[in-house]
Structure 1
Amino acid sequence: MNKVTLSKILLVCTDFISFFFSLFIALFWLSYFNNSHVYFPVDQVNNYIIIHLVTSFMCIMWFGTRLRHYTYRKPFWFELKEIIRTLLIFFVIELSIIALSKVYLSRILWGLTWGMLFILVPLLRVYVKKGLIVLGWYKKNTVIIGTGKNVKEVYNALNSESYLGFDIRYFVVSDSIQKDNIDGVTIISATELDLFSFLDINNLDTQFILALDDEHALDFWLRYLATHKCRSVSVIPNMRGIPLYGTDMSFLFSHELLLLRIDNNLAKPSSRILKRMMDILGALGIIIVLFPLFVLLYFMIKSDGGDAIYSHPRVGRNGKEFKCLKFRSMVVNSKEVLEQLLATDSEAKAEWDKDFKLKNDPRITRVGRFIRRTSIDELPQLFNVLKGEMSLVGPRPIISDELERYKENVDYYLMVKPGMTGLWQVSGRNDVDYDTRVYFDAWYVKNWSVWNDIAILFKTIKAVCHRSGAY
């Protein structure tokens, strides 16, 4: 039995363990109550174990056969969404089985069991996969075939998802490139007559990813890999600029045509109402929890004689300007300091003209440097969120002078409210160049969903804790 098969078996066993540990933890927790027999009468526990066993078996079968979680590799947030959605379905199924079988069962026991299950299934899966990747069992040799630009783009995308376990071994490039490797990965010319004589890998267990724009080249490689009995082949079509989230795919029988139904989520009134509800509840919750911190920072910043909170005009939805609030992180005479710096330092002026930011900004105070590093300076924007001027998640709020730099993507920016955090912040924050920021903002609007907002909020917590890319 090879390592790949063992990895699949271990993942299946991990999910079974999650189902039984959830029940065991719930029983163990309730056993500390004096009247524990009230929560799980002994004569009914065995019945519930059988019901839970049946539910777990059906759920894991669904994971394996319908969603293919044990055979296909999916990005973490995509797989997590499928896990939660599936568990919700079987949560209802188990409730129905209990109701139909007329088994007396404590709601506390049942609720604790499923509450733990929603935590254990994704958590154990993540750690088991990470362990298997470290051992080399879950790593899959991968070859990317395409143009120089495409293979680099695919390489960067796959590297950002270490959860997938793809081990990039070779680039097979169809155009001329003046390198023999990219980040240590060997480049092979696609003109080689016998490609597999150059690859020291087993083509049966290797993942081949085709990133080719030319349809004739794509057809050639599909035939070539098929004749060499390559079983794991993926194609990345050229879909730059097309919204992908929630897109439905279909094809016309006997025709090589792919139909994509684009779903503009933000055009739906229900989506906007849901997003607004998330903003209000989220902002109120954060303000209540962090109110003591607000008071402390207010007096610390105000100690130098200036205002603790300042406002700056930003462009909002439909081009309407609003006053964006922030804790003051700069000296009181910051405008004069900036003008003098730009007039005397050509490098600083070039950096400012490029990104409207300075990495070593002399205007920032000692307290200001800390609150910027941790993004605490943006907490007053919670009141912008409550007023409906901003959202918790959205494009980066910009000044009017930056609109022209968005070019054709400015339409996407003006469709939504700016956000306190966004895709740009969790993808490197200030380390990414301006064009990449624009790309992230446009991608977010085109692919908006509640799930993406939730993912970005969790990624923001990680980015702030690691202080990655902030200055």
Structure 2
Amino acid sequence: MKRVFDLIVSLLALIILLPVIIITAILVRVKLGSPILFTQDRPGLHGNVFKMMKFRTMLDSVDKNGVQLPDEQRMTPFGGFLRSASLDELPGLFNVIKGDMSLVGPRPLLVQYLPLYNEEQSRRHNVRPGITGWAQVNGRNAISWEDKFSFDVWYVDNQSFWLDIKILLLTVKKVFVREGISADGHVTIEPFKGTPSE
């Protein structure tokens, strides 16, 4: 039922939002250049890696040695707007249609974090990752990694059709309120460095 729901809603969203997607793509090309899409390897269901798609939000600026500048120096006001309005996430609907992602689930994080998870945190990969999730509507990037993983695992243990509906509705509210977009002092959130052993 979840997969059928994902397909129906994603296809309808793509049809309804097609003008927004086209306009956003044009603006990204004009303001940030090519490529329009940002693709990155992310772990999905059972940790299997897939290519996650988003609209590009940063410049490819490098220093005099050819080393890419930090995120906060490459982020533009336009890119910041795309993130705050969650417009950069729209290409993720194609990931949902392909089956790499779900509309609702733990957000797919970086592949290099995989060895850093403890056994409990790793359970977030027991379901498909989502465009939005329980952690996103409970603080997004403004909460600690520990809280984020707790919300993710709670979702794995309590997922249901009605919970997904609730999360989607809360996500719409969060997009308009624009809460929890970034952690203090970071463009998004500070890198995860693992959970200290007790």
Output the TM-score relative to the length of structure 2: 0.85
Q: 2:59 aligns with which of 323, 331, 354?
A: 331
Q: Which has the larger radius of gyration?
A: 1
Q: CA deviation at 1:383?
A: 0.1
Q: Which residue of 1 is the match for residue 36 of structure 2?
A: 308
Q: Which residue of 1 is the match for residue 135 of structure 2?
A: 424
Give the Cα–Cα distance (whole angstroms) in 1 for the partners of residues 125 and 142 of structure 2.
Answer: 24
Q: CA deviation at 1:325?
A: 0.2
Q: How many residues align?
A: 177
Question: Helix, strand or coil: the match of 1:362?
Answer: helix
- Stretch of structure 1 that moved more, 277-286 or 411-420: 411-420
Q: Which residue of 2 is the match for residue 460 of structure 1?
A: 171
- On the 8 A contact 1:325/1:380 being kept in 2, the answer is yes
Question: Helix, strand or coil: the match of 1:397?
Answer: coil
* 1:369–1:411 distance in 2 versus 1, CA, 3 Å: closer
Alignment of 1:288 with 2:29, yes or no, is: no
Alignment of 1:378 with 2:65, yes or no, is: no
Q: How does 1:57-456 map to 2 (within 5 A)?
A: 274-303=1-30, 304-333=32-61, 336-338=68-70, 361-456=72-167
Which residue type is aligned with residue 88 of structure 2? Answer: D
Which residue type is aligned with residue 26 of structure 2? Answer: F
- On the 8 A contact 1:328/1:377 being kept in 2, the answer is yes
Give the Cα–Cα distance (whole angstroms) in 2 for the partners of residues 276 and 436 of structure 1.
Answer: 27
Structure with more contact order per residue of length (Cα contacts < 8 Å, sep ≥ 6): 2
Q: Report % sequence identity.
A: 40
- On the 8 A contact 1:403/1:410 being kept in 2, the answer is no
1:305-344 Cα shifts (integer Å, max 9, x gaps): 3211120000011121000000000002377002xxxxxx
Question: Helix, strand or coil: the match of 2:106?
Answer: coil
- On the 8 A contact 2:102/2:129 being kept in 1, the answer is yes
Question: Helix, strand or coil: the match of 1:313?
Answer: strand
- On the 8 A contact 1:412/1:446 being kept in 2, the answer is no
1:18-40 Cα shifts (integer Å, max 9, x gaps): xxxxxxxxxxxxxxxxxxxxxxx
Output the TM-score relative to the length of structure 1: 0.37
* 1:439–1:404 distance in 2 versus 1, CA, 3 Å: farther
- Stretch of structure 1 that moved more, 407-416 or 295-304: 407-416
Give the Cα–Cα distance (whole angstroms) in 2 for the partners of residues 458 and 331 of structure 1.
Answer: 32
Which residue type is aligned with residue 9 of structure 2? Answer: G
Q: CA deviation at 1:410?
A: 3.8
Question: Helix, strand or coil: the match of 2:153?
Answer: helix
Give the Cα–Cα distance (whole angstroms) in 2 for the partners of residues 417 and 333 of structure 1.
Answer: 33
- On the 8 A contact 2:60/2:68 being kept in 1, the answer is no
